[in-house]
Amino acid sequence: MLCTLLLPFFLSASASASTFPSVRTPLQAPSGVQAPAPLPRGDREGFEDRSDFSPGAQHDPAITTPDAILGQPVGSRLARHEEIVLAFTTWAAESPRIVVGNHGQTYEGRELLHAIITSPANQARLAAIQADNARLADPRQVRSGELEGLIHSTPAVAWLGYSIHGDETSGADAALAVAYHLVACTDADVTGLLEDVVIVLAPEMNPDGRARIVSLVEQNSGQRVNLDYASMARGRWPFGRGNHYLFDMNRDWMAGVAPETRGRWSLLRQWTPQLFVDAHEMSGLDTFLMYPQAPPRHPALPKRLLYWQGIFADAHGEAFDRMGWGYYTREWADAWYPGYSDAWGSLNGAIGMLYEQGRNAGQPIQREGGEVVPYREAVHGQVVASLSNLATLRANREALRRDAFEHRLTQMQPAEGKDRVILFEATRLGSRLEPMLQALLDQGIEVARLGQDQVAKDVVSSLGEASPERSFPAGTYAVRLAQPQGALVRSYLEFDPRIDAETLADERGRLERGEASRLYDVTAWDLSRQFDVAAYWGTLALGDDAKPWLGMEPTRGSVLDRRGRTDPPYGYVVDGADDRSLAFAGRAMELGLVVHLADEPFAPDLGVEPREVFPRGSLLLRRHENPGGEAALGGAPATADWNQLVAQAASETGVQVHAVRGGRAADLERADLGGGHFVLLARPKIALLSGPPLSQTDFGDAWQYLDEVLRLPVSLLAAESLPGTDLRRYNVLVVPSGDVGTLLHSEWPALQAWVRSGGTLIAIDAAAQALADGELGLGDVRLRRDVLEDLEPYGEAARRQREAGTQELDLAQVWGDVPATAPTAAGEALDQEATEPEVEEASDDDAASEHPLAHLDSDLQRADRLARRFMPVGAILRAEVDDRSWLTIGTNGELPVPYAGSAVLLSSGEVPVRLAARDRLRLGGLVWPEARVRLENGAWLAREGLGYGQVIFFAQDPTYRGSWRGTARLLGNAVVLGPGMGAHQPSGW
């Protein structure tokens, strides 16, 4: 059955198993032309695996086999996206057991295909099954006495999701074999399974990534097969793991940055499965990892998750034993981070199961023990695992349904009898808060708005301020913890979940012994800090007048003219607190408009009361500077109506633009609009370094943000062609993280000349570390490990920045009425310099090794090396924001920042975003005491002026996983505002 039409063009002719046209060779070769035979693909040269995936099973001959579609046995080579679509649409036309649909589209335009496979009788009542399933997912919908009947009569639901990492290919090929078996097999075990289970199967969760790896494998295939694992190229950069923007979608389930994720949310909310399979691959030298999971375990996960994972693994292990295959559980892949596919399934009440099959990328390989594993065997492993899990689900379906219901019911009960609620201040709606809340809503989390002012008790803010009571105005957004999706609420929004003591002790021991951390992903992630929205946990019973929030209105940018006059406006302003103002500024400059940025708050005359104050960073466009605003040079006619260009930029970027009456400030304390507080911006011409040796995910994060979020034209500049590239075409160069030290150092003379002539060089993470090298002669930013013997100036600079402007002036001292003392840190240092006697230089006779201080250096180095073991694998830290820097526009006071890894940047120069002192540093996640000492006062964002240009250092990826929207703003500022604010462009004439 075909529910959503996906028929590719080549299926429009009638296709049967015997006459099925090969997708690869639609045309005959011309006669008389000596063409080479096409290169063989997949398993070959005697390494074929022809084993029967379902030995002894009977299959309906009327159903087209996947082998017929591929022209060779399923799993013996990589199936292309079009072949996968063709197979499923063919089966949907041939069998009443399957319907196929499309739950989204990738950036590159490929459909996100899914199939619903169940008995024809169930297919006939799918809507009723969905409705019953939905009631079981919301205990409020189930009347007392009704539960057992519903559990008995509703088939279990399984989610089988394959190859979310596109280059972990065997899953998608296995999906063809699994689906064919379920659709065609006439044996009682399959027909019975389909009576009891509805299978929602997503054969290819990352079609763009798969297309990348398939083309690479095909392009790299040769006449001879090579069994060497190292030759099994994972592909060229960018590999097939991520989606179009190279996002790891197995970390995206919480925030849903990728359209693929949002499509899956929507499909899965219709089905709420009890089994949630996520089929991956790992090193080809390895065997097969399956769940139960390793510790630590997130407390919001279902109580009996581990128990059930054990039951599934028992049967799965037996099935693998029958094949004689290796496998293991619990050695890695923990249950702490909630953004994985299977974690999402489990938090929704399913039993999440991860498969990690050793990978071959479509060709046979030899493992270290000498065993040759054909690609088809890897595919076979995924098939056996899937069918085993389905059988276990069927055998336990009522108990699993009961536990899933229990999980949701438990979530609805207030913890310790308290109505815990997360409250969000109704600010930054369009660009931050509502997109974040929409992601929650799209996952079935209920969001409300207070109907009146309410007081919450025991309140803690996202920046760690506690207060016994706090009042929240009507309109505040609220998410209750006690709701059917409470497990998601808790795991996404809890500020500081703590890893259990036993796991922590084990982790500490490993690090002490110099072993690698066992933590598999970041240890802190709460969404309100990622988005930097003001959030509070408190106790509060929502009033009856609280209204459910139904989602974002579509945003339409427009020009608002409230002047009540028809003469042309003096100009236009845009609120800089709205992150979209950056997109507007970029687009407006691209359209040729002249844009200024306010360096302090101002009050333009909009012709309305009360007067509105626009924050620093807001934009101003003046009529007299813009084309068409005044007669152009030499009295030539204006080429464009600037008012229309402003409206166009507003509508394309979703911002509200306000028309201004005149240049005089509406508030006489504030700046008039023609003066020096409005700095001229320069159009950014942006190059983003790409290709090897950059980190694909870090590159992808920056690319997606600049291209999709800010809608800026960006040149992707291949790192390998950086030498020899004429950088004068650009005034912004962004270098994402990666192994770029050698490149940046060898290119430094050219880069430095470009920066000096007005360029803005933005270096992120490892790129920033590479530039924090004293030998480059680039100012004050250093790696902490390089300045261990002289840390004091950095601490002093941090203190000075914190104290600046806060101390009371002693006027008697200022005017010299009393003897001078040194009240400040800077003064103290001066005092010491003046009073301490110079230490005598060691005499030239001493060998360097006998220098009395020689041991100190090595001791410091050793201690630091040890301390580096304890640096966070991924935590959220408190950073202090210099609100006088243009780089921090759009942030307030303090900013949660992500941190991972051992490198720490220090600077005694300009540090717009600085890590807090050690005792205030940790906001969430595991940060050992040694790490807090190393991290305190570190530069998270630093800037160095150089000639007419500047270098901007980000210690970490500001656009991490696409969901760190608070810190992403800093990168947006650097890119869009940098050429005008921190660098000097030659002025035209």
**Integer Cα distance of 847 and 844 in angstroms:** 8
Q: Which stretch binds Zn ion (CB under 5 A): 40-48, 160-168, 327-335, 702-710?
A: 160-168
Number of neighbours of residue 483 by Cβ within 10 angstroms: 20
Nearer to Zn ion, 272 or 357 (CB): 357
DSSP-assigned beta bridge partners for residue 906: 782
Nearer to Zn ion, 165 or 869 (CB): 165
Q: Which stretch binds Zn ion (CB under 5 A): 168-176, 417-425, 893-901, 958-966?
A: 168-176
Q: Angle of helix 126-136 relative to helix 397-412, nearest 10 degrees?
A: 50
DSSP string, 413-458: SPGGG--EEEEE-S-SIIIIIHHHHHHHHTTT---EE-SS-EEEEE
Nearer to Zn ion, 327 or 549 (CB): 327
Nearer to Zn ion, 83 or 167 (CB): 167
Nearer to Zn ion, 330 or 799 (CB): 330
Q: Which stretch binds Zn ion (CB under 5 A): 279-287, 331-339, 698-706, 776-784?
A: 279-287
CB of 305 to Zn ion, least distance (A): 20
CB of 232 to Zn ion, least distance (A): 16
Considering only 280, 316, 408, 428, the residue that binds Zn ion (CB under 5 A) is 280
**Integer Cα distance of 306 and 294 in angstroms:** 10
CB of 239 to Zn ion, least distance (A): 11
Q: Which stretch binds Zn ion (CB under 5 A): 88-96, 280-288, 384-392, 451-459?
A: 280-288
Number of neighbours of residue 741 by Cβ within 10 angstroms: 15
Q: Which stretch binds Zn ion (CB under 5 A): 16-24, 179-187, 276-284, 691-699?
A: 276-284
Q: Which stretch binds Zn ion (CB under 5 A): 18-26, 272-280, 811-819, 960-968?
A: 272-280
CB of 44 to Zn ion, least distance (A): 26
CB of 280 to Zn ion, least distance (A): 3
Q: What is the DSSP letter of 708?
A: I
Considering only 165, 264, 428, 785, the residue that binds Zn ion (CB under 5 A) is 165
Nearer to Zn ion, 168 or 957 (CB): 168
Among 290, 270, 260, which residue's Cα sits nearest to residue 278? 290
Which residue has its beta carbon closest to Zn ion?
A: 280
CB of 162 to Zn ion, least distance (A): 11
DSSP-assigned beta bridge partners for residue 454: 472
CB of 462 to Zn ion, least distance (A): 31
Nearer to Zn ion, 165 or 181 (CB): 165
Among 515, 333, 505, which residue's Cα sits nearest to residue 926? 505
Q: What is the DSSP letter of 852?
A: T
Contacts of 144 (CB under 8 A, 6+ apart): none
Q: Which stretch of DSSP H or E encloses residue 491?
A: helix 486-493
Q: Which stretch binds Zn ion (CB under 5 A): 97-105, 165-173, 204-212, 756-764?
A: 165-173
> What would the two tokens of residue 310 be?
């054990």
**Integer Cα distance of 720 and 254 in angstroms:** 35
**Integer Cα distance of 293 and 768 in angstroms:** 36
CB of 374 to Zn ion, least distance (A): 21
Q: Which stretch binds Zn ion (CB under 5 A): 48-56, 157-165, 301-309, 710-718?
A: 157-165
Q: Does 251 bind Zn ion (CB under 5 A)?
A: no
Q: Which stretch binds Zn ion (CB under 5 A): 162-170, 584-592, 717-725, 831-839?
A: 162-170
Among 870, 848, 854, 853, which residue's Cα sits nearest to residue 932? 870
Nearer to Zn ion, 165 or 376 (CB): 165
Burial class, 46, CB count within 10 angstroms (exposed 0-12 / middle 13-18 / buried 19+): exposed
Residue with tokens 């019911």: 409
CB of 775 to Zn ion, least distance (A): 40
CB of 658 to Zn ion, least distance (A): 48
DSSP-assigned beta bridge partners for residue 538: 421
Q: Which stretch binds Zn ion (CB under 5 A): 170-178, 273-281, 509-517, 569-577?
A: 273-281
Q: Are strands 197-202 and 571-574 parallel, antiparallel or unpaired?
A: unpaired
Among 786, 795, 758, which residue's Cα sits nearest to residue 950? 758
**Integer Cα distance of 768 and 907 in angstroms:** 12
Nearer to Zn ion, 280 or 685 (CB): 280
Q: Which stretch binds Zn ion (CB under 5 A): 167-175, 264-272, 505-513, 824-832?
A: 167-175
CB of 285 to Zn ion, least distance (A): 16
Torsion of CA 653, 654, 660, 665, to 10 degrees: -90
CB of 234 to Zn ion, least distance (A): 12
Nearer to Zn ion, 341 or 704 (CB): 341
Q: Which stretch binds Zn ion (CB under 5 A): 99-107, 231-239, 274-282, 588-596?
A: 274-282
Q: Residue 221: how many CA atoms within 13 Å on its side-chain side? A: 18
Phi-psi region of 974 (alpha: psi -120 to 50; beta: other; left: phi over 0): alpha
Q: Which stretch binds Zn ion (CB under 5 A): 166-174, 403-411, 708-716, 901-909?
A: 166-174
Number of shown-chain residues binding Zn ion (CB under 5 A): 3
Q: What share of the chain is helix, strand, coil (3-state, %, to 5)?
A: 35, 20, 45
> What would the two tokens of residue 475 be?
């309109």
Torsion of CA 125, 127, 131, 134, to 10 degrees: 110
CB of 366 to Zn ion, least distance (A): 22
> What would the two tokens of residue 582 be?
């950056």
Nearer to Zn ion, 169 or 411 (CB): 169
Nearer to Zn ion, 280 or 785 (CB): 280
CB of 165 to Zn ion, least distance (A): 4
Nearer to Zn ion, 342 or 957 (CB): 342
- Coil, helix or strand at residue 292: coil
CB of 200 to Zn ion, least distance (A): 20
In this structure, are residues 710 and 972 in contact, taking their beta carbons and an 8 Å threshold? yes
CA 587 to chain centre: 25
- Tell me the per-residue interface mask from 682 to 701 with Zn ion, x by CB under 5 A, - otherwise: --------------------
**Integer Cα distance of 822 and 804 in angstroms:** 15
Nearer to Zn ion, 165 or 782 (CB): 165
Contacts of 897 (CB under 8 A, 6+ apart): 876, 877, 878, 879, 913, 915, 940, 956, 967
Nearer to Zn ion, 476 or 696 (CB): 696
Nearer to Zn ion, 164 or 650 (CB): 164
> What would the two tokens of residue 99 be?
């319907």
**Integer Cα distance of 289 and 4 in angstroms:** 35
CB of 824 to Zn ion, least distance (A): 54
Nearer to Zn ion, 280 or 316 (CB): 280
The three-point CA angle 179-183-188 to 5° equals: 115
DSSP string, 79-96: PPHHHHHHHHHHHHHH-T
CB of 244 to Zn ion, least distance (A): 17
**What single-letter amino acid sits at 194?**
L
Nearer to Zn ion, 280 or 428 (CB): 280
> What would the two tokens of residue 150 be?
């519903």
CB of 168 to Zn ion, least distance (A): 5
Binding residues for Zn ion, per CB under 5 A? 165, 168, 280
